Amino acid sequence: MEHAPHLLVVDDDLEIRRLLGKYLDGQGFRVTLAADRRECEARLKEHRIDLVVLDVMLPDGSGLDICRWLRNERSDIGVILLTALKEDVDRIIGLELGADDYLGKPFNPRELAARIKAVLRRGRAEPEKTGPEIYRFSGFSVDTQTRVVLDPDGSEIDLTGGEFELLIAFLERPGRVLSRDSLLDLTQGRSAEPFDRSIDVLVSRLRRKLGDGGVFRLFKTVRNGGYQFSAPVEKVHG
C-alpha cells in the first residue's frame, strides 16, 4: 500500500468523508481526510498527496480558492471538484482554474474512483519503453516521454495532465475535425453529459497558455462540429 496513490478527500460532510474514505481505501488507494480548508492545507504539508477530491463549498472558504492555490503552487497534484448538481458556474470556473475533472452531487463512488484513476493515468503516465515521440508545430515542441512542452523561445509551458492529454489528442490527428464527444472519449474515457463544457474550457486554457490568438488559430472552432488543429505537425521518434 505504501506505493499506492495517496488521495486527500476534503468535504465538510462527515458521512461523505467516511463513505469515500472506506470505499476508496477498498479500491487500493491511501486516503487522508479533511473537513475544511484549514485541515486541507495542514494535510498537504504533512503528506505527499497525488490527488485532491475537493468539495467546492467548505465552511471556512471556497474549494475554488484551494484549486487556484494548488495550480499555482502544486501543479503536480490532480484535482477533482465535487459540486452541487446544478451549479454549472462552479464547474466551469473550477475547470478554468485548472481542475482536472468534476463530479456533481449526488454521485456514485464507483464513478468517482474511475475518474480518479483516469486523472492519475493522465498525470503520471509511464514513459514509453520504445523511446519518446516529439511533436513539433509552429515553433513549439512536445515530448511525450518527459511530458515537457516548449514554446518557440525554448521556455517550458506548464500544462495540467488534462491539458497535455488534450493537446496530444489534437497533435495525433492534425487537420481532423474532432467532436467534443470524441475528445472526451480520447482524453478521459467518458461521454459528454448534458451541457458539458469541459472540453471547451480545456481548449480555452490551451489557447491561453500557447498564446493562440489573432487571425490564425492553432485550435479552430468548427461550427456544429467541434475543434480542428490547424497547424502542420511534425512527428519525430526519439
User: Does residue 129 carry a pLDDT above 50?
Assistant: no
Query: Cα–Cα distance between 171 and 61 in angstroms, integer?
Result: 39
106 phi-psi bin (left φ>0, alpha ψ -120 to 50, beta other):
beta
3-state secondary structure of 12: coil
Q: Which residues contact 153 (CB under 8 A, 6 or more apart)?
A: none
User: Does residue 128 carry a pLDDT above 70?
Assistant: no
pTM for the full model?
A: 0.63
3-state secondary structure of 227: strand
User: Does residue 191 carry a pLDDT above 70?
Assistant: no
Q: Are 90 and 121 in contact, with CB atoms under 8 Å apart? A: no
- DSSP lists the bridge partners of residue 72 as none
Give mean pLDDT, residues 227-234: 93
For every residue of 16-75, DSSP letters joined together read HHHHHHHHHHHTT-EEEEESSHHHHHHHHHHS--SEEEEESEETTEEHHHHHHHHHHH-T
Give residue-wise pLDDT tens across range 55-73: 998 999 888 899 988 888 8
- Grid cell in block for residue 74: 502544486
User: Does residue 126 carry a pLDDT above 80?
Assistant: no
